[in-house]
Structure 1
Amino acid sequence: MKRIMLTLILLVGIGGYTTYAQSELSLQECLKYALTNNQQLARIRMEEDMGRFKTSEVRAKALPQVNASGQYTNNIKKQVLAVPGELIQEPGKTVLLEAGTTHNVTASGTLTQTIYDQSVFTGLKAAKAGEEYYSMQSVQSEETVIYNVTQLYYSTLVSREKMIVLDANIEKISKLVNTTGSQVESGLARKIDLDRMRVNLTNYKTQRTQAQNQYLVQLNQLKQQMGMSMAASIDLPHTSFKEIESKAVGALDFGGVNLDNRIEYRLLKKQEELQEFQKKAYKAEYYPSLALSGNYSYNGISNKFDMFKGSGSTASWYSMAAVSLTLKIPIFDGFARRSRVSQASVTLKELNKQKEETALALNTQFENAKLQVQNNLTTIQAQKENVDLANEVYNSTQNNYNLGLANLTDLLDAETSLTEAQNNYNEALLQYKLAELDIIKSNGNLKSLLN
């Protein structure tokens, strides 16, 4: 894998970014930087943390639930009870008696433990599967970052190669303009030829500016994908693609598609598993549930606010305790449970069809990527030969022009053809690398680019 020179100068005070000074960063180092600093990936990893917390939340339902409470009540106006007078030896009358005491203090505690609840047990399994789903989402985001950074990396390198081609042509035609200018002053060349050269030079400079703008835009996109500050300065030197040329004459091993290596397919399978748990959870609502609970309270009552004066208090204290076993049996809910189970079954069928659709799409992508690689290798070989031929034609035409055996039009046409051949060759190299990247993605081996 090629190495590139990137001089990264980060502003003082910018946090969260690794600072490099006069360092060379390979593609692998760019990818590792991106996996550490990409903001979207960091957000997805927070979702993974959220999955673990949700598992803990569901697990809590199977553990004992303990609560404590305290209460003070001041009965400013007590309740009055109407009782027959016979109870207090006043027959024939209705007597009004105050109920309770003025001050009441209660401290209590309760404990509840689920003994059997099928929905809780199913929820625990679903929560664990959900945690794995969030983890797989992080893996998918990592692969997306690797793919995007690699794609931009090679695109930026090829844009730089186009600039180098234009720089070389500008240098050549500038020398030709200077030489022809001297010849025009000596009467050995026509001014119209000089003007045509200047027009071509201006066109090349305009193309150079456009290519530079494209290059800088791609650099910014690369920095964005890496999670790098826009204040960082990145410089990519000339890079060779010789190893690609060697592949054009060799045999290729594309491997095969293993759907279980593709995170997209694995996510669908995990969604299917989660939906199965959801269906089981709805079915669990048909089952009875059993829970054990106990409570204890300590109470104090008095008509004076002297509850905590020890032995001198007029308060009376007493305690209460109870243990209960609660059985809940669902009988009829208007077929709501049955409807939820049916909905879950339909969702499972949809996911199965989505799996089939995804499998077909992934296999299609792999076959198309193989065709692209093969076509691009053929194109590279043809364009390489075309560059050599265009270079030979240009050199021959230039010699003939210097000897007066070829006109300016022939020279300018040969130069334009050489430029187009060089740019087409560089574009073929880029398209090969992008197709090769798609092959690696189709095989589920994007993380191999980190090695």
Structure 2
Amino acid sequence: MKRKRITAQKLKIGIAAAFMIFGFSSLSAQQQVSLQEAIKQALQNKAEAKKAALQVKKAEYKIDEARAGALPQISANISNTFNPILQTSVLPGEIIGMPGQLVPVTFGTKWQSVNSVSLYQNIFDQRVFTGLKAAKSTREFYLLNSELTNEQIIENVATAYYQVFVQEENLKTVEASYANTERVRNVIKSLVDNGLAKSIDLDRTNVQLTNIGSNKQQLVNAVEVSKNALKFYMGIPISTPIELEEKTIEPNTALLNTAANLETRSELKVLNKQKELLQYNKKATEALLYPTVGLQANYGWQGLGNKFPYFTGSAQGTNWSDYASIGLAIKIPIFSGGSTRAQIQQAEIDIQDLDQDINNTRESLDLDYKNAISNMENAIINIESTKDNVGLAERVQKNTQSNYQYGLATLTEVLDAENALTQAKQNYANALLDYKQAEIKLIKAKGQLNTLQNP
């Protein structure tokens, strides 16, 4: 009997020791991905970034198009006409000494060839000058829009990255709890097999193990789904295996100490540049009220004859001659029925409409900034609270294990303490995620998302 008590005591110590072994299941060696590397790949691979870069390139060609309006416009014209039936007209007979009669006369030749070169040079056209300025602003607009697109990509990648990080931390915690509970189950099974424990204790442990296993499987799936989302935002194939770089999350309270300048936000920069483009559009419409002045010049060769002119000369009856003209074209708008004035008023309304969007966006960004500050402060408090709770849960678990060794605590209390510790660690991991999400929002509110690319 004494030997059985000793054996039972040793097995209880074995149960306690099993809970004290804290092991994590290791992930297979895969591609280590840091946040900076994930952002770099996203900016290189994502269609949104590529399309934004194409728009910037397109803006360069818009500048070339606008500049072309200020350069000489030269064109060539080649026209060859064959007249199988020449038109007949009549002349008074007095011309050829046949008074009182009408004499039919055929005018023209069978072939007529006209070859000319024309040149037109704008001397003054307010629309051309305004269009050139607008084209340069268009390029700046697309550059700013590209920056805004990149910031949105960075935010998506960072949010998805830390979502994976926290899910993996939760999985590690549950895997450790599962391994510990499994070892305890094996110890209790030995107790039951030796008649030193009740089968109800083994049943309780199996129920606990099944519940943890179910939670573990859910987290395995959550990690996989989170990684797939991250790979999507990175613009890499979903089948690519990745593993996050090992690192810890530490709150950065310095972010709370610096103020934000909302005017540096890309959202406002894009809208302000859009307003500038609308102002140029209004000026271009106003330019319709200004006169235009242009220089035009023509030079050509004309061949007339009854045979194809290009292969004949004067000996074959084809007459070749050249001509030239130079002129100054001035167009002065006088009355357009009020359509130009109406277009100008429409352009002005477009500007006023955009002003409302700018004011609304500014207020929205200010609200986001203040909310980000509040969420960040609360997240830091929550991290400290959950971190302290983890420490408390660890002490409770150790004390419960110690008490169990001396028969002062039941197996149920041991399992409950293990559950409480697992839950506390998961709460801490979720608090870290809430913090990182709040931190990203605050960095965005300050217009500093690009700093996430820095190590």
Verify same fold: TM over 0.5: yes
* Cα separation, 2, equivalents of 1:353 and 1:311: 75
Q: In the alignment, which of 360, 364, 369 is matched to residue 367 of structure 2? A: 364
What one-letter code is carried by the residue in structure 1 that aligns with 2:406? Answer: L
Distance (whole Å) between structure 2 residues aligned to residue 186 and residue 302 of structure 1: 126
Residues 228-237 or 377-386, more deviating? 228-237
1:408 aligns with: 411
Q: Which amino acid aligns with 2:208?
A: N
The residue aligned with 1:208 is 216
Counterpart residue number, 1:15: none
Q: Mark the CA change 1:325 to 1:238 in structure 2 (over 3 Å): closer, same or farther.
A: closer
CA-atom RMSD in angstroms: 2.0
From 90, 104, 114, the counterpart of 1:106: 114
Once the two structures are superposed, residues 332-382 of structure 1 have per-residue CA deviations (whole angstroms, 9 ceiling, x without a partner) of 112111111111221222222222211111111111111111111111111
| SS of corresponding position for 1:285 | helix
Structure 2 contact 32–242 (Cα < 8 Å) conserved? no
Please state how far the C-alpha of 1:312 moved relative to its aligned partner.
4.1
Please, which moves more after superposition, 278-287 or 185-194? 185-194
Deviations 1:171-202 (A, max 9, x none): 01101111111111122222222122212211
2:307 partner SS: coil
Corresponding residue to 1:395 among 394, 398, 409: 398
2:347 pairs with 1:344: yes
What is residue 432 of structure 1 aligned with on the other side?
435
Aligned to 1:233: 241
Q: Deviations over 1:59-89 (max 9, x none)?
A: 1111110001111111111222233233333
* Aligned counterpart for 1:222 among listed residues 221, 230, 234: 230
Mapped to 1, the partners of 2:197 and 2:248 lie a distance apart of 40
Supply the AA of the counterpart residue of 1:325: L
Query: Aligned pairs, how many?
Result: 429
Q: Hey, what does 1:129 align to over in structure 2? A: 137
User: Hey, what does 1:12 align to over in structure 2?
Assistant: none
What do residues 372-414 of structure 1 show as CA deviations (whole Å, max 9, x unaligned)?
A: 1111111111101101111111222233334332223322322
CA deviation string 1:405-444 (max 9, x = no partner): 2223322322221111111100111111111111111111
Q: CA deviation at 1:264?
A: 0.4
Relative to structure 1, the CA distance from residue 348 to residue 307 in structure 2 (aligned partners, 3 Å threshold; closer, same or farther) is closer
The correspondence for 2:325, drawn from 314, 322, 325, is 322
Q: Answer yes or no: is the 8 Å Cα contact 2:31–2:243 preserved in 1.
A: no
- 1:118 deviates by 1.0
Q: Is the 8 A contact 1:162 1:426 kept in 2?
A: yes
Give the percent of matched residue pairs that are identical in Structure 1 and Structure 2. 39
Unpaired runs of 5+ residues, structure 2, are: 1-25
**Contact 1:7/1:24 (8 A) holds in 2:** no
User: Bigger shift: 82-91 or 101-110?
Assistant: 82-91
Question: 1:133-152 to 2 correspondence within 5 Å?
Answer: 133-152=141-160
Counterpart check, 1:32 vs 2:40:
yes
Superposed, which structure 2 residues align to 1:367-378 within 5 Å?
367-378=370-381
Cα distance per residue 1:260-304 (max 9 Å; x no partner): 320001111111111111111111111111111011110111112
* Deviation of 1:306 (Å): 5.6
TM-score by length of 2: 0.90
Aligned to 2:338: 335
Aligned position for 1:43? 51
1:97 aligned partner: 105
- How many angstroms does 1:34 deviate by? 1.7
1:178 aligns with 2:181: no
Instruction: Please identify which structure carries the higher helix content.
Output: 2
Out of 77, 94, 101, the position equivalent to 2:85 is: 77
Whole-angstrom CA distance in 2 between matches of 1:86 and 1:413: 131
Partner of 1:162: 170
Cα separation, partners in 2 of 1:82 and 1:404, compared to 1, 3 Å:
farther
Cα distance change of structure 1 residues 339 and 408 upon mapping to structure 2, 3 Å threshold: same
The question of whether the paired residues in 1 share the 8 Å contact of 2:35 and 2:158 is answered with yes
Aligned partner of 2:95 in structure 1 is: 87
Take 2:151 and 2:92, find their aligned partners in 1: how far apart are those partners?
Answer: 85
1:59 corresponds in structure 2 to: 67
Q: CA deviation at 1:252?
A: 5.7
Q: Verify the 8 A CA contact 1:297 1:320 in the aligned structure 2.
A: yes
Q: CA deviation at 1:309?
A: 3.8
Please give the secondary structure, in 2, of the residue aligned with 1:416.
helix
Amino acid at match of 1:388: G
| Residue 273 (structure 1) aligns with | 276
Shift of 1:6: 11
State which drifts further: 175-184 or 401-410.
Answer: 401-410
User: Residues 238, 415 of structure 1: CA spacing in aligned structure 2 closer, same or farther, 3 A cutoff?
Assistant: farther
Cα deviation code 1:198-223 (max 9, x no counterpart): 12211211111111111111111111
Q: 1:323 to 1:6 in 2, by over 3 A?
A: farther
CA contact (8 A) 1:149 1:225 kept: yes
Cα deviation per residue 1:214-268 (whole Å; 9 max; x = unaligned)? Answer: 1111111111111112232102365433x33xx5xx6664311212320001111
Partner of 1:195: 203
Q: Is the 8 A contact 2:313 2:320 kept in 1?
A: no
Q: Work out the CA distance in 2 between the residues paired with 1:204 and 1:238.
A: 25
CA distance in 1 between partners of 2:386 and 2:293 (Å): 77
